[in-house]
């Protein structure tokens, strides 16, 4: 049960159902989402290999931010090692942005001497976590051992979905404690533990399947997911020759091992006062941009580098806002905006490096 994608078998088990699904063109997908005819999770658009320019931007981002990213991962691992009960830690990465982070966090915790199980599970806005996958995990591990992992937060929508999904008694009857979400960068102030609130470019945020084990975004569609099935995905076999998943992990590991061995790299601490301030800042930013574009649907505003990247890669972007257009961390966003035909502008009052507003097609 489960598979490891293009990762090593020890690094992760995807609790997903691989399926074949015809791609939906991006413009048609956007029209269906905004009209309410289909939920975003029911469709996938085709994924293409990154072009040479974009790949060069990824390599630049990796070279520039690898040390910072590794240090943040080490701080998270040290905090989990110190604060979690002795014995096994079960990482449940939220597919798919959480998966590369979870792979590296697993390796870091193993390096600290902890036994670790690592799974990648689906969670979908408005539809919740994959309860079949969660049942599968809880049948094999104590609920108190489970930690959920994501790369970053934007508005906090997925973190809220996690709380709602596990707030009531679990459908399978197993008791689920308050979910503990761990993220590298928590812009929305919704993680239980994070290394930073800085909106910096986490290198894995630039790419999609080719840095996430060749796995697509997750799918919840009655045509391919039946009772008792995991949420679905499409394995992007056509991108095998472009896959960077293992290379990314191997490139980060020397920096991660050095940070783990460095006593100056302290365990991460995440205070409630910080989280409250971040939540207010996020809500105000989203409200301001929504009002500027006359939007009623806050889901059409994507704050932060990570969410902006995802929006430019797989949605129909209308406008990209940049706090500092000359910052190296946003070079890939400018490239994507130009190739996708999205306008961009300088917004020095933006509390993040970037934000994207999704184009309006018909109603809000």
Q: For the purposes of burial, counting CB atoms within 10 Å of the CB of 110, is it exposed (0-12), middle (13-18) or buried (19 or more)? A: middle
CA distance linking residue 316 with residue 303, whole number of Å: 15
User: Mapping DSSP to helix (H, G, I), strand (E, B) and coil, where does residue 62 land?
Assistant: helix
Q: What are phi and psi of 234, to 5 degrees?
A: -115, 125
Tell me the pairing of strands 301-303 and 354-358.
Answer: antiparallel
What are the structural domains of the chain? 13-261 (3.40.50), 273-358 (3.30.1330.30)
For 174-188, the pLDDT digits (tens) are 555 667 999 999 999
249: nearest Cα among 213, 219, 208: 213
Q: Which position has the token pair 């989203």?
A: 286
The pLDDT tens digits for 81-92 are: 999 999 999 999
pLDDT of residue 360: 84
pTM, entire model: 0.94
Average model confidence (pLDDT) across the chain: 93
Sort 235 into a burial class: Cβ within 10 Å, 0-12 / 13-18 / 19+: buried
SS3 assignment, position 356: strand
Predicted pLDDT at 168: 53
CA distances from 220 to 98, 124, 234, 262 (A): 18, 8, 12, 43
Using the predicted structure, report yes or no on whether residue 171 has a pLDDT greater than 50: no
Residue 364 has pLDDT above 60, yes or no: no
* Mean pLDDT, rounded, for 144-172: 83
Range in 32-36, 278-282, 287-291 the model is least confident about: 32-36
Distance from C-alpha of 232 to C-alpha of 41, rounded to nearest angstrom: 10
- Antiparallel, parallel or unpaired: β 146-153 and 89-95: parallel
User: How many other C-beta atoms are found inside a 10 Å radius of the C-beta of residue 228?
Assistant: 7
């Amino acid at each position: 049960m489960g598979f490891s994608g293009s990762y090593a078998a020890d690094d992760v088990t995807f609790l997903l159902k691989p399926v074949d699904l015809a791609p939906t063109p991006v413009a048609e997908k956007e029209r269906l989402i905004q009209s309410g005819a289909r939920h975003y999770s029911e469709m996938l658009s085709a994924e293409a290999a990154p072009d040479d320019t974009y790949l060069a931007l990824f390599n630049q981002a990796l070279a520039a931010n690898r040390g910072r990213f590794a240090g943040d991962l080490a701080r998270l691992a040290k905090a989990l090692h110190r604060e979690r009960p002795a014995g096994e830690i079960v990482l449940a990465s939220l597919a798919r942005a959480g998966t590369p982070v979870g792979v590296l966090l697993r390796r870091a915790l193993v390096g600290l001497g902890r036994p670790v199980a690592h799974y990648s599970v689906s969670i979908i806005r408005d539809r919740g976590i994959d309860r079949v996958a969660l049942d599968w995990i809880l049948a094999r591990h104590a609920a108190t051992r489970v930690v959920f992992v994501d790369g970053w937060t934007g508005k906090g929508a997925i973190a809220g979905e996690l709380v709602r999904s596990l707030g009531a008694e679990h459908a399978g009857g197993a008791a689920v404690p308050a979910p503990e979400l761990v993220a590298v960068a928590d812009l929305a102030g919704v993680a239980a533990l994070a290394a930073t609130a800085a909106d910096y470019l986490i290198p894995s945020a630039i790419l999609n399947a080719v840095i996430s084990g060749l796995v697509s975004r997750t799918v919840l569609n009655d045509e391919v997911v039946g009772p008792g099935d995991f949420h679905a995905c499409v394995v992007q076999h056509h991108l095998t020759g472009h896959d960077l998943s293992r290379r990314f992990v191997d490139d980060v590991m020397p920096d991660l091992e050095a940070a783990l061995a460095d006593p100056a790299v302290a365990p991460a601490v995440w205070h409630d006062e910080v989280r409250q301030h971040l939540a207010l800042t996020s809500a105000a930013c989203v409200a301001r941009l929504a009002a500027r574009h006359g939007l009623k649907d806050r889901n059409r505003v994507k704050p932060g580098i990570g969410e902006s990247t995802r929006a430019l890669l797989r949605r129909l972007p209308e406008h990209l806002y940049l706090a500092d257009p000359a910052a190296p961390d946003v070079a890939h966003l400018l490239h994507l905006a130009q190739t996708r035909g999205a306008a961009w502008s300088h917004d020095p009052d933006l509390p993040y490096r970037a934000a994207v507003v999704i184009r309006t097609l018909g109603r809000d």
